[in-house]
Chain A
């Protein structure tokens, strides 16, 4: 379980997160939704210890992220940032292989190679494995970074907008793979903008607005016209298709 206790965050004088207290369940796929600027990415980055905590405490399966050895944390959780600027010229397989670093510290074994191939396969990248990243499209590159995160093989996967830049076939493929990992016992937290992916694939939805938790619960409770309308400040309709909510937000 990830326990967020009284976390606040400011950039300059602007409050980004205000006293967030939250529990993310283990073994579930949790979707983090909310309008731009709600603080989703900040919360995810703080949980992934990519930014220093200003106030509050976060524990991942009992380990305080402020005091636990960062190498040990890298085996416990893998995080995909929202933007992954490309500074280096790497081939897809080389990038994905870096995901195994926490396990081998520079001396990869056969298990590491197998995990890398599996991650490449899962993200439909096997044919592109020997291509340089700068020769790929934005969506293909995004999949390469997701594959690196998957290869890390951590108990917790924190993914910030993994579906950004993906076509619909690959977006569904990524969500299905994440659901598969959840079924295999892993815990997943994913920031999503496509509310319908959240409605269908997530077990648990946390909705944020203006640095606070606005709603929390299973999709059937959060994905209603009333709740979503308040969170996003817009009118929308929600239908039921095959027993799942379908949010008509584009009409």
Chain B
């Protein structure tokens, strides 16, 4: 329980900082008296902070689930074609029914993400189990192909700018009340993973072991697919893809605590939230009052963390 507690405690000051930092002048103490300050807090700062926390937590969990499904630590929804398929779905809706309500876009993105991830899972089934690095490689190849399709269609239809936000520079500067609430659904999908934590952990032991314990591996696989696809699609629809979270956070947690997901998922969620929050705050401060997208900050911080991870000895427990 201790790591979870420690992380939750770092979340508090980070959230407070996130509420205080922004281009507009706002004094937290005067929120009660100054309607302008109250407006900034409730319409901009609080929604943004919540959006960051929900995104970080949900992406962290989606990363673990993905890694358990394929029994490989080097994948996340951003490197398995999930994000690109979601973008493809969004693009299709933008072209076929540009005026469609947000929930239709959300459904289209989720369904496309499911289809793309299912394709990935099918592709890697035939890979030799010992070739650990082939799984992420196939994921990267699939992502690149799907990404190229998205870019081509976007280029032909003048929608490249939208695609850039979906896939490359996820950021939170546009988040205000009324424009982030879909992320609660992403968080709910991630919470669903917690209820099925043991199932995912058992599936991580292999299909034979899972069958022997009376689980239906395909059913667990489908559940995981839904969690990963819905989280990814909703994050892309609302703020755009944030890289590295699903990769780095689960790996750090597994090094320290192992893969008993019932115990580790809350820590992964808190860790993902704290990391995105910290990076979002850095992005807001680096060239204050302008902003650097959180995705860019994470590109730097995430790669450093990943290198540190690779060279550090795991805890033996």
Contact = CB atoms under 8 A, between A and B. Distances in A.
Interface stretch (B40-48, B53-61, B165-173, B200-208): B200-208
Given A85-B129, A91-B260, A70 B211 contact: yes
A75 B213 contact: no
Contacts of B216: 70
Interface in A82-131: 84-85, 87-91, 94-95, 98-99, 101-102, 106, 130-131
Interface of A: 45, 48-50, 70-75, 78-81, 84-85, 87-91, 94-95, 98-99, 101-102, 106, 130-132, 134-135, 152
Contact of A88 (B129, B204, B213): B204
Contacts of A91: 258, 260, 317
Interface in B287-317: 314-317
Nearest to A86: B205
B258 A102 contact: no
A74 B206 contact: no
Nearest to B195: A106
Nearest to A45: B208
29 contacts: A48-B211, A48-B212, A50-B208, A50-B212, A70-B214, A73-B214, A74-B212, A79-B212, A80-B212, A84-B205, A84-B206, A84-B209, A87-B205, A88-B71, A88-B205, A90-B260, A91-B258, A91-B260, A98-B198, A98-B209, A98-B213, A99-B213, A106-B199, A131-B316, A132-B258, A132-B314, A132-B315, A135-B317, A152-B213
Given A85-B206, A98-B198, A131-B316, A90 B213 contact: no
Given A91-B260, A99-B213, A101-B215, 5 more contacts: A70-B216, A73-B214, A102-B213, A132-B316, A152-B213
B198 A106 contact: yes
Contacts of B255: 89
Contacts of A49: 211
Nearest to A145: B209
Classify chain B's interface size: 20 to 34
A72 B215 CA distance: 10
Majority DSSP secondary structure for residues of A touching B:
mixed
Contact of B317 (A50, A80, A131): A131
B201 to A, nearest CB: 7
A87 B68 CA distance: 9
A207 to B, nearest CB: 25
Given A70-B211, A78-B212, A85-B206, A101 B198 contact: yes
B111 to A, nearest CB: 29
Given A88-B259, A131-B316, A81 B208 contact: yes
B254 A89 contact: yes
B205 A98 contact: yes
Contacts of A85: 129, 206
A135 B316 contact: yes
Contact of B258 (A45, A70, A78, A94): A94
A81 B215 CA distance: 16
